[in-house]
Amino acid sequence: MAKKKLRYPNRKKNTAIAAAIIATVLILLFGSIFVNDYYANNVFTFDGESIKSGEYRYYLINAANSHENSNGAGVWEQQIQDDDGNYITMEEYVKKDTVETIVSLRIIEKMAKEYNVEINEATAQEVKDRFANFIEINGEEVFSYLGISKKSLRTMFEREAMFQLVYDEVVKDFVIDEAEFEAEYVEFLENSRYYITTVNVDYIFIESDEEPVTEEDDFGIVVDIEGTPDPDSADGQETAEDETEPEDREPEEPGEAELWARSVREMIDGGADFKELIVKYSDDYYPPLPDFDSGDEYDGDDDKDEDEDTVTDPRLESISVLYVPYHISEDVLDEIYAMKEGDVTGPIKVNGGYLIIRMDSIEDPTEEEMAEMKDNSKENYTKNKEQEIFDEVYKEWREKYDAAKINDYAFDRINVIKKR
């Protein structure tokens, strides 16, 4: 019988197949790593440029710190309305706003080329100093923390410096309209009359047991609305149903607090010392505490020499009428500002009781202060007008480009770092 020839596997062919399989695995493995790395490091794209996570993270940290420093840690509990009218968390808003911040710097870079604006020697030195100061404060490890190179950060600082140069170029031809400014300045003086002239007063507060009707003013402070009932309340509904004309109604009998306030006013008109009446009758007056540091007990003598250890009584010092801790309506403020030194007004109904106010002194600004105020107003007017010009030009540039394309894979993985 003939021997059967054994057939051995083709080693070269199998080796090639194995190599191909390994190569495929490596491509899939490292290709996947490369793709994931790419998507994790590119937060968004604007005008064909991919913005890296390091740059985005840097501006996001700055934005978060700015919001916390201005509004406190509670800022992150707020919600804000976006451009589409939807309410989003503050964190979402800051993340989206950071994207637009970076976009604006890219557009400024394009504007600089159009206006032939370049970084000058002085600005270059400012960038250099800022970069050195940044490293001194944060240390070299900040670059690995942010995931950004020194070159990239220096370029970012240059873009920020370019912003002011471009801004100055855009608004350089602005000329102030003197007539328009004068008209706005007169309006400013009228709206600021309470703050330009300082009116110092003494006051007596008579507390009322009546439950005041209140509402929140523009600053969220609960203020008296002089007895006007809430239309949603039972009292408001009863008032709405009462068709009796005001002149036909019986006048309301004054309450005990109002009668007492009138009596105190009569004492003042009769020549009683106003400050003594504060001590005796003002319901918000409390004797000053002893000066415990001196080891002496307060003996009720507020007229000691200044050199002696004593306790001042701030309640007996006149204060600006704007600092009187009770809501005073604008109509009453107008009346007070028209008073002369020594004049008395009241009882005035306020939240929780009645006020009697005596004009102590009026401090008008000096000519030098008024001149300085006008110079400051003109400077602010100029800045506002220049800002309007720049905003209009920037808006036209922004409309040339599409919105940034967010890479959700990277964007969602970067969180706002909160200090508190």
Could you report the per-residue pLDDT of 371-398, keeping only the tens digit for each?
Answer: 999 999 999 999 999 999 999 999 999 9
The domain that holds 54 is classified in CATH as 1.10.4030
Do the bridges between strand 42-46 and strand 405-406 make them parallel or antiparallel, or are there none, so unpaired? antiparallel
Query: Is pLDDT of 9 > 60?
Result: no
DSSP 143-207: HHHHT--HHHHHHHHHHHHHHHHHHHHHHTT----HHHHHHHHHHHHHHTHHHHSEEEEEEEEEE
The domain that holds 324 is classified in CATH as 3.10.50.40
Query: Is pLDDT of 300 > 50?
Result: yes
Shared-domain flag, residues 92 and 51: yes
- Whether residue 164 lies inside any domain: the answer is yes
Structure token pair of residue 414: 């970067």
Which has more pLDDT, 213 or 110?
110
Q: Is pTM, for the whole model, over 0.75?
A: no
Distance CA 56, CA 407 (A): 12
Q: Which of 396, 411, 405, 406 is nearest to 107 (CA)?
A: 396
Band of residue 174 on the pLDDT scale cut at 50, 70, 90: very high
The pLDDT value given to residue 193: 82
- Whether residue 163 lies inside any domain: the answer is yes
The pLDDT value given to residue 404: 95
Query: Is pLDDT of 37 > 60?
Result: no
Distance CA 271, CA 322 (A): 26
Shared-domain flag, residues 314 and 350: yes
Contacts 24+ apart (CB under 8 A), 118-121: 118/165, 119/158, 119/161, 119/162, 119/165, 120/165
Distance CA 14, CA 276 (A): 111
Domain residues for the domain of 348 are: 198-229+254-288+309-363
- Whether residue 269 lies inside any domain: the answer is yes
Shared-domain flag, residues 217 and 101: no
Number of domains, the chain:
2
Provide mean pLDDT across the span 133-153.
91
The pLDDT value given to residue 132: 94
Band of residue 418 on the pLDDT scale cut at 50, 70, 90: confident
Query: Is pLDDT of 417 > 70?
Result: yes
Q: Which of 97-111, 128-142, 184-198 has the lowest mean pLDDT?
A: 184-198
Could you tell me what percent of the chain has a pLDDT over 70? 74
Distance CA 354, CA 346 (A): 8
- Whether residue 116 lies inside any domain: the answer is yes
Provide mean pLDDT across the span 229-252.
46
The pLDDT value given to residue 31: 40
Residue with tokens 């939240």: 351
Query: Is pLDDT of 217 > 80?
Result: no
Band of residue 223 on the pLDDT scale cut at 50, 70, 90: very low
Query: Is pLDDT of 114 > 70?
Result: yes
Distance CA 177, CA 230 (A): 48
The pLDDT value given to residue 216: 53
Work out the mean pLDDT of the chain and round it to a whole number.
80
- Whether residue 91 lies inside any domain: the answer is yes
Shared-domain flag, residues 335 and 224: yes
Tell me which H or E stretch contains 363: strand 353-363
Residue with tokens 């600089």: 112
Query: Is pLDDT of 46 > 70?
Result: yes
Paired residues of 136 in beta bridges: none
Distance CA 154, CA 135 (A): 11
- Whether residue 94 lies inside any domain: the answer is yes
Shared-domain flag, residues 148 and 207: no
- Whether residue 244 lies inside any domain: the answer is no
- Whether residue 298 lies inside any domain: the answer is no
Shared-domain flag, residues 96 and 164: yes
Shared-domain flag, residues 110 and 214: no
Shared-domain flag, residues 213 and 107: no
Q: Number of C-alpha atoms within 13 angstroms, CB side, residue 124?
A: 4
Shared-domain flag, residues 122 and 77: yes
The pLDDT value given to residue 278: 92
288 within 8 A of 316, measured Cβ to Cβ: no
Provide mean pLDDT across the span 132-159.
92
The pLDDT value given to residue 33: 35
Shared-domain flag, residues 152 and 213: no
Task: Provide the 10 A C-beta neighbour count for residue 381.
Answer: 17
Q: Which of 167-181, 236-250, 259-273, 371-385 has the lowest mean pLDDT?
A: 236-250
Distance CA 393, CA 366 (A): 41
Shared-domain flag, residues 58 and 136: yes
Shared-domain flag, residues 263 and 400: no
- Tens digits of residue pLDDT in 54-64: 999 999 999 99
